[in-house]
Amino acid sequence: MEDSSSGDESPTFADWFTSLSGRSIYAKIPVTYFEDDFNLFEAHALPNFENLLEIVLEDDPPDDEMVEEPSAREALITFYEVVHQRYITSRAGLHEMFVRGEFGRCPRTLCHGEFVLPYGASTNPGQATYKLYCPHCQDVYFPPSRRHAKLDGVGFGPTFSHLLIMHYREKFPAFPPQGGRWDTFVPKVFGFRIHHSSSMACGRGQLRSRPNGYR
């Protein structure tokens, strides 16, 4: 006999948010999480905080009329993203994101398809776009999907990816791997390795030391 209670749950604000283009990668924050003011510490700094929270806590998700104005829609999105950054560093949030699983693979050939994790360089809205962090080479990359390219990185922040690795250490590569070095591409000319003092060889190290290139 089928359970008559299954499938009867009303859609939530989190359901509305994660249905938006490119935002299925976000966790669904339980309504109860928004009810604890401690979890909303960063969100208090947002304009119209009280009004935004009231909308989030309503029984039904926003309707078309409520988000007709682009500014209202963006304010609700930013509110969720700011709270999301804190939620995914909680035990429940870490577990949900870990179970959610694949966010893509590292584009670096010598990482051999290592899974990447969501990353944002700033804890403040509008400062940095969504990026992907590779636990193997420990570099940050632009997402390959155009749907994700313009997402605000504040939804994930700079802490989540590293905290997830610490929490599920056995699921990620050792730092560094056995042997003490990552696989590194070796440029050659006519079969001969280019000396490390050459401008071409030195350039690789300079690129890794320029964080501005990954904003």
Q: Domain with 113 in it: what CATH number?
A: 2.20.25.20
Q: What is the pLDDT of residues 185-196, one digit of tens each?
A: 777 786 677 766
Helix axes 160-167, 91-100, angle to 10 degrees: 90
Whole domain around residue 19: which residue ranges?
A: 13-97
Distance CA(119)–CA(136), nearest Å, equals: 15
Angstrom distances, CA of residue 214 to CA of 89, 128, 129, 184? 23, 10, 10, 19
Write down the pTM of the prediction. 0.81
Strands 188-189 and 131-133 turn out to be unpaired
Q: Are 20 and 93 part of one and the same domain?
A: yes
3-state SS, residue 200 = helix
In a domain, 203, yes or no: no
Query: Could you tell me if residue 58 is inside a domain?
Result: yes
Does residue 205 lie within any of the structural domains? no
pLDDT reported for residue 176: 56
For 150, the token pair is: 């313009």
pLDDT less than 50: residues of the chain: 1-6, 180, 203, 206-207, 209-215
Other CB atoms within a 10 A radius of the CB of residue 131 amount to 25
Q: What is the pLDDT of residue 32?
A: 95
Smallest Cα–Cα separation from 164: which of 101, 112, 113? 101
- 123: alpha, beta or left, given left = phi > 0 and alpha = psi -120 to 50? alpha
The CATH number of the domain holding residue 19 is: 1.10.1820.10
